Amino acid sequence: MSVETWLCPRCNKHKPRDQWSNRNGRRASHCKACSASYAAEWRVANKERFKERNREAGVRRRAGLPTLTAATVEWACGGCGGVKPADAFYWSNGVRHVPCKACKKEQRFANRDAYLARQREYQQGRRSEDPVAYRHSMRKSMLWSYYKLTVEDYDSLLDLQGGVCGGCGDPPAENKMLAVDHDHRCCPTKKSCGLCIRGLLCPQCNMAAGVVERFPSIVAWVDRRVRTFVPERVRPRRSSRVGLAS
């Protein structure tokens, strides 16, 4: 029996499930070894900050005070000036963004048209410059953001199925991908944690699988409907003419 593995984007190695951390029901973006090495590198690069954080945590622990968390720390927003908890701000590599999330949202909506115009121009430039590389990049981004799969993982699944749909057995249409089917009992939304992937299906089989998964009783109803349905042209018709002799 083959062991399911995933590609770590940091060390570029395929590793089994027990070498990945599970965060809030979702697989971490890097393996355990790479996460540990990154944490060690951060501690070396931010030695003074790491010491100060540990010193402050020890003082609070000895004093019987609660540990500093997102619910206990408050910061001043550089946009609205309000004092808000840490979870009201965005963080990047341990650095807090100056405006809070609410101010960031207002800024995005205020400059929405200009932002979308810049994004469209950028994407159009990439597409016209190298269509093949652009298509590959979008495919790679979609597979990872929605299903935590790499392009190599997807190609491996397709090879295991013989290059055809796992339901009807038909090959995918030209320049089209098969849909990634996952267990909605594990991940109810369109996105998957990467641990509940069931295979690759064509759009028709994927839609049918979703309907059957959501409404299990529909299988018996469709079977009964197909077996008992009589087409209109086979049914005996009654004449609509009045006084017509039988």
Q: Which residues contact 231 (CB under 8 A, 6 or more apart)?
A: none
Q: What range does the domain containing 177 cover? A: 131-228
Q: Residues 194-226, buried b or exposed e (16+ Cβ, 10 A)?
A: bbebebbbbeebbebbeeeeeeeeeeeeeeeee
Residue 182, SS3 per DSSP: strand
Query: CB under 8 Å to 45, separation ≥6 — which residues?
Result: none
pLDDT tops 60 at residue 245: no
pTM of the model: 0.49
Q: Decide if pLDDT at 1 tops 80.
A: no
The yes-or-no verdict on residue 95 having pLDDT over 70 is: no
The answer to whether position 41 is within a domain reads: no
Residue 243 has pLDDT above 70, yes or no: no
What is the spatial distance between Cα 8 and Cα 194, in angstroms, rounded to a whole number?
13
**What is the count of structural domains for the chain?**
1
Q: Does the pLDDT value for residue 173 go beyond 50?
A: yes
In a domain, 204, yes or no: yes
CATH classification of the domain holding 145: 3.40.1800.10
Taking 60 as the threshold, does the pLDDT of residue 241 lie above it? no
Over the stretch 123-169, which tens digit does the pLDDT of each residue have?
888 888 888 888 888 888 899 989 988 888 899 999 999 999 988 88
Q: Is residue 206 part of a domain?
A: yes
pLDDT value of position 73: 67
